[in-house]
Homo-oligomer: A and B are copies of this chain.
Amino acid sequence: MRTGIATVCLSGTLKEKMQACAIAGFDGIEIFEQDLVTSPLGPEDVRKMAADLGLGLDLYQPFRDFDGVSPDLLKANLRRAEAKFKLMARLGMDTILVCSNVATATIDDDAVRAEQLAQLANLAGDHGVKVAYEALAWGKYVNDYEHAHRLVEMVDHPNLGTCLDSFHILSRDWDTAPIESIDAEKIFFVQVADAPKLSMDVLSWSRHYRVFPGEGQFGLAKFMGHVVRAGYTGPVSLEVFNDVFRQSDVERTAVDAMRSLIWLEEQSAKWLASTSAEAAAGNTGALRRRYPMELATLPKVNEPAGFNFAEVKADDTAQLEKLLGQLGFAFEGRHRTKDVQLWTMGQARVIINEQAAQHAEPAIAALGFDVDSPVIASARAQQLKAPVVARKVQADEEVFQGISAPDSTEIFLCQGSPDGTAAWTHEFGEGLEHPSAGATAVIDHVNLAQPWQHFDEAVLFYTSALALEPQPFAEVPSPSGLVRSQVMQTSDGAVRLVLNLAPIQQARNEARKTYQEHIAFAVEDLVATARAARDRGLEFLQIPANYYEDLDARFDLDPGFLATLQELNLLFDRDADGEFLHFYTATVGSVFFEMVERRGGYDGYGAPNAPVRHAVQYDSLHRTT
């Protein structure tokens, strides 16, 4: 699959954008006209730079408001087009995108449109240019790709074809199956963009909220599958207008974009396989031969079986050790060659890393996941452009395959075991204490704060590299703004990651980071766990009395149970599937811990209680009461 991206997706100057696209490994780019117009680089400079960078210049775009106009305007439009055709010759480009008219069209007549497009195609032919005509979702008269294609067929000129853009097609819910019957020779270009399903006017949706494939909710694999079945072999190019990507680091965004195409390629192949007669007959060779577009494959991974460990890091680890001890964790010893400690409770393993920079506050540093094959999972992640994390290992030590998540958390791909143990624990000395409580404890979920520039990137990262599934997101009120909360999890809930997008902090808060992250452990008897922790002197997050009154009003709880909850600072939730009890520790540095008990089939995270946690944490940070 030939990969491409429009320069409008990225921040920076044309030069910065082109360099970032080359580094990310794109085959070609679309030159968004404004990026050229505002650039000090002349057309010949751009042509040479692209050649030096190994980037094809695959599409010049957009040419707007051409068709369905008055004769006078047509004349001006043809003059305008010829100027662009000449410019393209200097750039060494041969394909231009012409969008259906949104502003100046006055004649709603296919015969007139076809006649005018024929004039454009003739002119393009004279200049060796191919015109890719695209129906914008909000085109005045032409807003449906099948309509655009009918016009192309009416004109029947070798220099006129169509451009298919997934956003314009899927945002309008047009049926994508008819794509397969379009003559592949007439599909001059394919643009892809994903988007969250929003109920708003399609123009605003398109201009601000597009995302890269895998970061939204569109059925892109199916769209691409139809394109592949049509026989198309040209570029598959990203055109994503997104307010955040326009502001983010250009090289990071280009890599995120490339990852989305690699992932889409795999998903498209999967969709094709799952819907083909050959697939039903088990004949994948026939499947491959049938479609001329080559779809590269990735190393396959299943979703992780569970958390292998979580790692916290600090310069001074005393507070972390104290908290874990009070929660009932056992100190299992120090690593024989590294300055790290192992603490466990049942199957929940926490590594305390003492190798942090001087004065570094406690923070979550790494997560280990149990996978079928760390090597295959790592190969997949690396093909998906995940940065590799190297850890020094000595002879006889387990080699961890590590990658860096978009928020810089280190992700380690570990060899899972049927009984939930981890071989590497033998590298640690003997522990000092083995409390029997919590023998069945596990890491329930981990909540990571995401930088606002990399939230969508993180969703795609965990989807594509770790096979986690994004769940519908929630918005949680906090005293410093709404917190967007995106759960990524495995189908069985054994791995649950919560990505939190914190509000942009106001100046007075920026000095004192209010981004807090946590690790939650599930136990069988939370009340007993809490009592034991209290007896060990644990500092609980203090839950206001008002909360318990409200809880009682909502759930009509047994007075004894309510008193127990309040006495131990426990929070409670109930839904149709079951009940949820949980408590939080005080925060050290940017990390705190949570203990949870899931009763029945409760599958959530106590979302109604999240505002209480945020408010109390804010309060203790700001000490206003």
The residues of A with any CB-CB pair to B shorter than 8 Å are: 8, 11-13, 15-16, 33-34, 36-43, 76, 79-80, 83-84, 87, 198-201, 204, 207-208, 243, 246-249, 452-453, 475, 477, 479-482, 503-506, 508, 542, 544-547, 549-550, 552-554, 556, 611-612, 614-616, 618-619, 622, 624-625
Contacts and interface: CB of A to CB of B under 8 A. Distances in A.
A379 to B, nearest CB: 31
Nearest to A76: B556
Nearest to A33: B550
B506 A12 contact: no
A504 B553 contact: no
A97 to B, nearest CB: 16
Contact of A13 (B12, B246, B479, B542): B479
Contacts of A504: 247, 452, 504
A82 B401 CA distance: 58
Contact of A37 (B41, B79, B544): B544
B481 A625 contact: no
A544 B39 contact: yes
Contacts of A547: 37-38
A96 to B, nearest CB: 13
A482 B199 contact: no
A17 to B, nearest CB: 9
Contacts of A544: 37-41
B38 A616 contact: yes
B453 A34 contact: no
Contact of A16 (B506, B553, B624): B624
Contacts of A247: 480-481, 503-506
Nearest to A46: B546
B619 A13 contact: yes
B34 A611 contact: yes
Contacts of A38: 544, 546-547, 611-612, 614-616
14 contacts: A8-B477, A11-B479, A12-B480, A15-B624, A16-B479, A16-B624, A36-B546, A38-B544, A40-B544, A41-B546, A83-B549, A198-B200, A199-B201, A246-B477
Given A40-B619, A42-B545, A199-B200, 20 more contacts: A11-B506, A13-B615, A13-B619, A16-B624, A37-B547, A38-B612, A38-B615, A39-B625, A41-B625, A43-B546, A76-B556, A87-B549, A200-B200, A208-B482, A243-B482, A246-B480, A246-B503, A247-B503, A247-B504, A453-B506
Contacts of A84: 553
Contacts of A12: 479-480, 618, 624
A37 B550 contact: yes
B546 A39 contact: yes
Most buried by B among A16, A40, A87, A544: A40
A210 to B, nearest CB: 13
A129 to B, nearest CB: 14
B40 A477 contact: no
